[in-house]
């Protein structure tokens, strides 16, 4: 992802175990930098990974974490072609439209918070890149 803060541009990549993303909590109004998901080797009670897939949301798998809705305030996000583990995957940077953010779930409190990007199926014009896509939410 790419976020801007004043004249600084931040590129944030999930594989980095110190990855934090700018999140505006729905009930808050203050922008906080929150840890992006949880990697296999990291402690915590949240699920491994950085995404909340529709099937797990519908099944109620996230309810036990008492998630709060948040919005990841970035200007661009990156999707890689193909499946995880394939070699030479092409990266594609896509702009987040003005007035929109990436929807996320925030688990935990304080410094132990973790944010997971909500996903959905890719739009028809981008299915050739990846089958999963971040959920865009309008920001007021």
Q: Has residue 57 been placed in a domain? A: yes
Q: Has residue 34 been placed in a domain? A: yes
- Output the pLDDT for position 69: 94
- Give residue 45's domain range: 2-81+103-138
- Output the pLDDT for position 87: 82
Q: Has residue 87 been placed in a domain? A: no
Q: Has residue 88 been placed in a domain? A: no
Q: Which residue has the tokens 């409190």?
A: 109
Q: Has residue 90 been placed in a domain? A: no
Q: Has residue 112 been placed in a domain? A: yes
- Output the pLDDT for position 132: 87
Q: Has residue 49 been placed in a domain? A: yes
CA proximity to 14, closest of 93, 90, 79: 79
pLDDT in tens, 2-29: 999 888 999 999 989 899 999 999 887 7
CA proximity to 72, closest of 7, 10, 122: 10
Q: Has residue 97 been placed in a domain? A: no
Tell me how many domains the chain contains. 1
Residues in the chain with pLDDT < 70?
Answer: none
């Amino acid at each position: 992802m790419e976020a801007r803060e004043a004249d600084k541009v931040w590129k944030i990549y999930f594989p980095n175990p110190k990855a934090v993303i700018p999140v505006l909590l729905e009930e808050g109004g203050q922008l906080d930098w929150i840890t992006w998901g949880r990697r296999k080797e990291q402690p915590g009670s949240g699920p491994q990974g950085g995404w909340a897939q529709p099937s797990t949301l519908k099944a109620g798998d996230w309810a036990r974490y008492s998630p709060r809705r948040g919005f990841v305030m970035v200007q661009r996000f990156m999707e890689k072609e193909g499946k995880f583990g394939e070699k030479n995957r092409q990266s594609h940077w896509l702009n987040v439209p003005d007035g929109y953010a990436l929807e996320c779930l925030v688990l935990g409190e304080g410094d132990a918070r973790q944010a997971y990007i909500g996903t959905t199926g890719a739009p028809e014009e981008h299915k050739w890149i990846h089958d999963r896509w971040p959920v865009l939410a309008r920001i007021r």
